[in-house]
Amino acid sequence: MQVLIHDHCHSVAAEQVLRLLGTDPSRGLDLFEIEERQERFGPNLLGERKPEGALRRFVRQLEQPLVVILVVAAAITAGLGEWVDSGVILGVVLVNAIVGFVQEGRALEAISALSRTLTPRAAVLRSGERKIIPSAELVPGDVVLLQSGDRVPADLRLLRIRDLQIDESALTGESVPVEKAVEALPPDTSLAERRNLAFSSSLVTYGTGIGVVVATGDTTQIGRISEMIASVEDLATPLTRRIARFSQVLLGAILAVSLLTFAVGVTRGQPWFETFLAVVALAVGAIPEGLPAAMTIMLAIGVSRMARRHAVIRRLPAVEALGSTTVVCSDKTGTFTQNQMTVREIFAADSIVRVEGSGYAVAGGLFREEQPVGPHAEAALAEVLRAGMLCNDAAVREADGRWLIEGDPTEAALLVAARKAGLREAELLREWPRLDAVPFESRHQYMATLHAGESSNVAFVKGSLEAILARCRADREAGILDPDAIHQSASEMGGRGLRVLAFARKEFPLEQKALRHADLETGLVFLGLQAMLDPPRPEAIRAVATCRRAGIGVKMITGDHATTARAIAAQLGLDVEAARPEVLTGRDLAALTDTELLERVQRASVFARVSPEQKLRLVEALQARGHVVAMTGDGVNDAPALRRADIGVAMGLAGTEVAREAADMVLTDDNFATIEAAVEEGRGIFDNLLKFIVWTLPTNGGEGAVLMLAILLGTTLPILPVQILWINLTTAVCLGLTLAFEPKEAGTWSGRLGIHTKRS
């Protein structure tokens, strides 16, 4: 019943959902019904899956073909009485196995991290009384009360709301809090658009609401992601796939040559025991005993180098996987962009003013046609900026060299824009002290504040363009401009991916000290528009260009709106061949067959409003096209794709614990440019690994050839197995590892390593 109701509850009326669940919204569930449902559905917890045993995980580290060869070599040398050499080889095997065991163990913490995201307590209605209970005791049909600051304890169908806004970024990728509604939606509404639902683990940022539980535990959206993480198969990296294939070929070649040599020696009348010992020496000489140790040390050196460039590697083979990457799929907010809303354009007095500077730092200024503009010289511009600063509940402050905000990011952007023009909150509030305020409500789509003036009190209003214009006076003398021109300007701003807010004012008598919605129904004077955007990082633009020159494709996969994603993609240069990069939405992806997706995924650069399942599907489609995929993410919704990708990259600052545990690499600065730097380092490390392998194989081949020739000629062995072991281990570790410190070749980052740019 949970799954059936959960999958369709957004498309039916709330009353019908309540009937299906047998719940009275004014009383909640009765105690007897609660006990029966707790037995039926179990606790509201994510299921604990029995992890693979530690012993089994350790043994699996020894199942790699190259390691098997070394174990056989250790057994043979032990059988010959060479205990020191056998111990050295086993030591190399154990060191590599322990490193892999420890690194893999950390990755298995991803699912247990999901269990820790559920809120421990929830406010519910039961038998007509409001109670605070552990969230684990919730059952389908419980009526839950939400308020600002709460973490949603289960998946809810909303019944009643008041200005409810919920931050769902960790689950859907939406970069700003979502304004909720209660009306039924079309059946094909995507997950990110289901505004009449509240999802488990999301955070209430504003307002209040009442909802009925439609899913608990593993049947919630976050529970389904947990199932996906558990079921996603970890892929071997390009390096481990090549080494496995190389080891199999090497093992087959050594066995074939050894058997052939033994047969020839015995056929020629040589004593079989002496011939066997000689063949053992031949096999030992051909095995590159120092290769696993050298690889581990070289990859560890790469980990250290990348850490200095803000990339923390969680699994050693991931170092090389970065160098093999052919496509980078990245989230938008915080990775490509600064995650700081910034006013970019202001429409006032029938013209547009451009705002320079990014983020919340007060740096930049206002320009019209490349000429600086001051608000004191233009009354209309000053009014728009003043309205944005006074009709505002946010605060921006600097701490430890970083600009921090308190409140809504949109309102913070308005404060910063006014500061860039020279306005200051303290001075304005002294001149225009606040008397009252009408908070934002979704049904009214505006916020207003009343301020005391010298000759009259003034209300400043901000909100959606439609809500503001509908309340403005029509005569031009009063300040209202041509509505068609305003709509055209707003449409052009929206086409550039900007979020547009409209501003107005209205005067009241000095004796009026309170403000009501009825006071703002008519008579507003239109002031202008402010349009904002989370701007791209300048270093991300350069990094995208560098990746493209190196033959690495870059794709944006985001939960944000298609228009905003397209605008950011154009600024980043994701698709330089097209003026408007192709965008596929989650709804588009749902309509594509697997065959169609394989074709479209190659061409499209931007994927917007996608669900966790679709992110995973995109990664698999790119891998099916032969790509080595690096996937970045920060939310719970990204975890399955992070685990499936050849190299999963999580955000260290804004990322969730679940995403970090599922990833192979963590960025300590959440910057796409760091990915580009890490890929560059990975290519250099792979190049040095190739140099080491090319250097060490002729040594083993030469030793094997000399021994084989001696056996065939029936002469005394020129070198003993213990001497071969000593040479192989000492030369590989002491001499060959100098190649690990080789600087990157000039052609490494320009695409010269095309030999490994496809998945094996």
Q: Any idea which residues carry the catalytic annotation?
A: 331
CA distance 21 to 136: 19
* Amino acid identity at 71: V
∠ at Cα 391 (145, 434), nearest 5°? 95
CA distance 584 to 556: 10
CA distance 724 to 735: 15
Query: At 124, which helix (H) or strand (E)?
Result: strand 121-126
With b meaning 16 or more CB within 10 Å and e meaning fewer, what string describes 403-412? Answer: eebeebbbbb
Pairing of strands 434-441, 402-406: unpaired
Q: Which residues in 614-743 belong to E strands, given as ranges? A: 629-633, 647-651, 665-667
CA dihedral 243, 246, 248, 252 (to 10 degrees): -150
Tally of CB atoms within 10 A around 136: 18
Q: Do 450 and 515 form a contact (C-beta atoms < 8 A)?
A: yes
Q: 497 phi and psi, to 5 degrees?
A: 80, 15
91 Cβ contact partners less than 8 Å away, ≥ 6 residues apart: none
434 Cβ contact partners less than 8 Å away, ≥ 6 residues apart: 390, 449, 450, 451
CA distance 175 to 164: 16
45 DSSP 8-state letter: S
Q: At what angle do helices 83-107 and 290-307 cross, to 10 degrees?
A: 40
CA distance 174 to 567: 16
CA distance 1 to 139: 12
* 678-to-175, 207, 222, 267 alpha-carbon distances in Å: 26, 42, 31, 56
Total residues found in the chain within this entry: 760
Q: Do 731 and 601 form a contact (C-beta atoms < 8 A)?
A: no
Pairing of strands 121-126, 129-134: antiparallel
Q: 109 phi and psi, to 5 degrees?
A: -80, -5
Q: Do 406 and 394 form a contact (C-beta atoms < 8 A)?
A: yes
Helix then strand then coil, in percent of the chain rounded to 5, is 50, 20, 30
Pairing of strands 499-508, 457-463: antiparallel
- Of 274, 256, 80, residue with least CA distance to 714: 274
Residue 734 burial (C-beta neighbours within 10 Å; 0-12, 13-18, 19+):
exposed
Q: Six-digit token pair at 707?
A: 């021994």
722 Cβ contact partners less than 8 Å away, ≥ 6 residues apart: 77, 82, 85
- 228: helix, coil or strand? helix
701 Cβ contact partners less than 8 Å away, ≥ 6 residues apart: 286
Query: At 213, which helix (H) or strand (E)?
Result: strand 203-215
DSSP lists the bridge partners of residue 603 as none
CA distance 228 to 616: 9
